[in-house]
Structure 1
Amino acid sequence: MSSAASWSYTAAATLWPLLGRDDWTGAATYGAPQVIACDYSAEVMRMTDAKGEEFISRQQIFTERAGVEPGDMILIGVSVSLDPITAGAAEVRAVTRWGDTLDRQADDYRIST
């Protein structure tokens, strides 16, 4: 973790990575919950996802955690629930990446739901 992240990412979020969809039902399958260091904002913003579709983001989560993808589920706070829907998680719609301008150790990401 970079020196800037160690003092700025002091909150926790739980991430459930999307593993795939059932061929028969189309139901999403998620991996085990993973807790990540983060900070967050509850700002309403109009955004565009990777498919070019506009959506209203109500929550932005800032982290150094790489590999978060649209379709994953995320919740501010810590959860051990295996079901992200029951836990109250929101779907990741867009991920924005910024370079680590201070230490060049790990890039920063904004996860928008």
Structure 2
Amino acid sequence: MSAAANWSYTATATIWKNLGISDGGDSLGFAAPVAIFCDYEGGLSKRLASLGAEIVVKNTIWTEYSSADAGDYILIGASTDADPLAAGADEVRQVIRYADTFDRVADDYAILTGV
């Protein structure tokens, strides 16, 4: 963990990796939940237009966890529930990678959830 992350990523989030879709189109489910260190910002807004509603960011979670992908589920806080939907987790919509500018130990990631 970088020096900056050591003092800034003091919260916990839980992530469930999406195992994909079978050849038949059925969900393969989710891997066991993994707790990660993070920091976060919540914000919920929805823009309505003549063509419908636009998907907007619900939560931004900053972390050094590098394995998040769109389609995974993440929850701010700790959970041991095997089902991310039952736990109240949100779907990961996008993951953005940022350089570890100061220490060059581990890059940082913004995990964005949407509505």
Q: TM-score, normalised by structure 2?
A: 0.85
Q: Percent identity?
A: 49
Which portions of structure 1, spanning 4 or more consecutive aligned residues, are displaced by more than 6 angstroms?
A: none
How many correspondences in the alignment? 106
Structure 2 equivalent of residue 19 of structure 1? 19
5+ long unaligned stretches in structure 2: 47-53
Contact 1:22 1:29 in 2 (8 A): no
Kindly name which structure, 1 or 2, has the bigger radius of gyration based on alpha carbons: 2
Superposition CA RMSD, Å: 1.6
CA deviation map 1:28-80 (0-9, x unaligned)? 5100000000000013478xxxxxxx621110000000011000000000000
Cα separation, 2, equivalents of 1:30 and 1:85: 10
5+ long unaligned stretches in structure 1: 47-53
Q: Secondary structure at the match of 1:93?
A: strand
Cα separation, 2, equivalents of 1:45 and 1:63: 23
Q: How does 1:31-110 map to 2 (within 5 A)?
A: 31-44=31-44, 55-110=55-110
